[in-house]
Amino acid sequence: MAKITASVYTSHVPAIGAALDLGKSQEPYWQPVFKGYDFSKRWLKDSKPDVIFLVYNDHATAFSLDLIPTFAIGTAASYQPADEGWGPRPVPVVQGHPELAAHIAQSVIQQDFDLTIVNKMDVDHGLTVPLSLMCGQPQAWPCPVIPFAVNVVQYPVPSGRRCFELGKAIRRAVESYDQPLNVQIWGTGGMSHQLQGPRAGLINQAFDNAFLDRLIADPEGQASMPHIDYVREAGSEGIELVMWLIARGAMADVAGGAKPKVVHRFYHVPASNTAVGHLILENSHDN
Ligand code: DHB
Ligand code: FE
């Protein structure tokens, strides 16, 4: 059967993608950001996932006010990098995994989560920047990716609790797939940032680090934080952090297994308007 072996958490700051694409990653401003991912790139190469289930948010690229799915699973064979206003990023096309995606859709919908099934969509910085941070600038991404888009842009947004429960359902779905696949789940977006209004520029390092601590040690407790607390403490765009709870809910300890190993943790301020947070958790082989 397929197994979730690890979860990866990372911010998706669009300016990071632009810095990489324009050859600025070694400039003094960006160098410390990319340095935080040196270990992660080696780790990803060594861990050789067969599929990455990538939880992210679309920023009015594939969706708009015309259509606002709370949870959308990509079941396509491939996804084009989107044109976000400056032309599409010069990154590889994202290959999907329609068979596993269809299986997860079937299983998760039968577990009473209403997913929107997306057979065609472009993917924006929410998905491509995490891939760039973890993979650098390869000719092709290392494995197929299942994009899983969460609405954290237009209210009402899903609660952390619901995201955490959804992670549990995704784990059960993956583990009932009858192929021996090494699956990683990535939770992306965050950390604290606010792009609009009088509090634009808000960054809250104390909140971010407490979130990382609690995500590792007490994800159930973190899942009970209401969305209004994210908005107050982490800024209006800090609500992207609820997506990290989907990945965390899919880890083995939540289903009674061993605690995950923290293999990497990184935090840096600032990158553009955002605090960058990054974590890698590995499930024990005994799970
Ligand atoms: C910025 C951050 C985001 O998460 C985003 O989606 C757009 C912009 C920023 O830091 O400017
Ligand atoms: Fe964003």
Domains of the chain: 3-203+212-265 (3.40.830.10)
Give me the pLDDT at residue 233, please: 98
pLDDT-based confidence at 198, cuts 50/70/90? very high
- Asked about 97 being catalytic, the answer comes back as no
* Any atom of ligand 1 within 6 Å of the Cβ of 97: no
For position 18, what pLDDT does the model report? 97
pLDDT interval class at 235 (50, 70, 90): very high
Give one word for 259, left, alpha or beta, with left for phi > 0 and alpha for psi -120 to 50: beta
pLDDT digit string (tens) for 68-127? 999 999 999 999 999 999 999 999 999 999 999 999 999 999 999 999 999 999 999 999
Residue with CA closest to ligand 1 atom 10: 273
264 assigned to active site: no
* Cα-Cα end-to-end distance for the chain: 13
**Cα 71 to ligand 1 centre (Å):** 21
**Per-position DSSP letters for 16-58, written without gaps between them:** HHHHHHTT-TTSTTTHHHHHTTHHHHHHHHHH--SEEEEEE--
The reply to whether ligand 1 has any atom less than 6 angstroms from the CB of 13 is yes
Calpha distance 64→86 (Å, rounded): 18
- State what percent of residues in the chain have pLDDT above 90: 99
Q: Rounded to 5 degrees, what are φ and ψ at 3?
A: -140, 140
Catalytic residue among 12, 125, 227, 278: 125
**pLDDT value of residue 280:** 98
Question: Does residue 237 line the site of ligand 1, with CB under 6 A?
Answer: yes
The atom number, within ligand 1, closest to the CA of 273 reads 10
**What was the pLDDT predicted at 240?**
98
Average pLDDT in the chain: 97
Phi/psi at 48 (5° precision): 40, 60
Does 272 contact ligand 1 (Cβ within 6 A)?
yes
**pLDDT at residue 287 tops 90:** no
- Cα of 269 from ligand 1 centre, angstroms: 13
C-beta separation of 277 from 267 below 8 A: yes
Mean pLDDT, to the nearest integer, of 220-236?
Answer: 98
CA-272 nearest atom, ligand 1: 10
Q: What is the mean pLDDT of residues 220-246?
A: 98
- Binding site membership of 58 for ligand 1 (Cβ less than 6 Å): no
Q: Is 285's pLDDT higher than 90?
A: no
Compute, in angstroms, the gap from residue 179 CA to the centroid of ligand 2: 34
With a cut of 80, say whether residue 58 has pLDDT above it: yes
The minimum-distance atom of ligand 1 relative to the CA of 11 is: 4
Q: Summarize the confidence of residues 121-145 as an average pLDDT.
A: 98
Q: Is the CB of 153 under 6 A from ligand 1?
A: no
Q: Which one from 97, 103, 193, 227 is the annotated catalytic residue?
A: 193
Residue 286, pLDDT > 80, answer: no
Going from the Cα of 10 to the center of ligand 1, the distance in angstroms, rounded, reads 13
